């Protein structure tokens, strides 16, 4: 495979990922919670109206698969589970925030 082809394919995957996260309000909500220190699934479920355990778990699995967040299980009794942003996820959230910031400026200029 040519280097250019490989780069393009990789870009495609990244764009699809951004598209997937940006298009999903639950993923955005969950990322926002984790960024604000709400790291345990139980807390998350209680923090967002309408967020069911099933949907939460699906979104967390997706975010882990994308390596945006990582899951840690603490060997306590009962075991404690926490989700945190990875270094990649921190950068990814920065981009989401750049989009929101551009939106704020743009809205101000047009109001």
Q: Each residue of 79-91: b (16+ CB within 10 Å) or e?
A: eeebbebeeebee
We find the least distance from the C-beta atom of residue 69 to its own copies, in angstroms, to be 14
Mask for 75-94, x = binds its own copies (CB under 8 A): -------------x--xx-x
Nearest to 59 by CA among 99, 19, 87, 31: 31
Q: Does 43 bind its own copies (CB under 8 A)?
A: no
Whole-angstrom distance, CA of residue 27 vs CA of residue 5: 30
We find the least distance from the C-beta atom of residue 8 to its own copies, in angstroms, to be 10
Whole-angstrom distance, CA of residue 99 vs CA of residue 48: 22
Give the nearer residue to its own copies in terms of CB position, either 23 or 50. Answer: 23
Given the rule CB under 8 A, which residues bind its own copies? 7, 10-11, 13-16, 18-19, 22-23, 28, 67, 88, 91-92, 94-95, 98-100, 102-107, 109
């Amino acid at each position: 495979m040519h280097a250019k082809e490989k780069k393009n394919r990789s870009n495609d995957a990244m764009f699809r990922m951004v598209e997937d996260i940006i298009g999903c309000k639950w993923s955005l909500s969950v990322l926002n919670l984790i960024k604000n220190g709400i790291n345990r699934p139980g807390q998350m479920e209680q923090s967002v109206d309408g967020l069911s355990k099933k949907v939460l778990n699906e979104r967390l699995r997706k975010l882990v698969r994308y390596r945006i967040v990582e899951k840690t299980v603490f060997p306590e009794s009962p075991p404690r589970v926490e989700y945190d942003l990875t270094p990649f996820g921190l950068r990814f959230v920065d981009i989401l925030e750049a989009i929101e910031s551009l939106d704020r400026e743009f809205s101000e200029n047009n109001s």
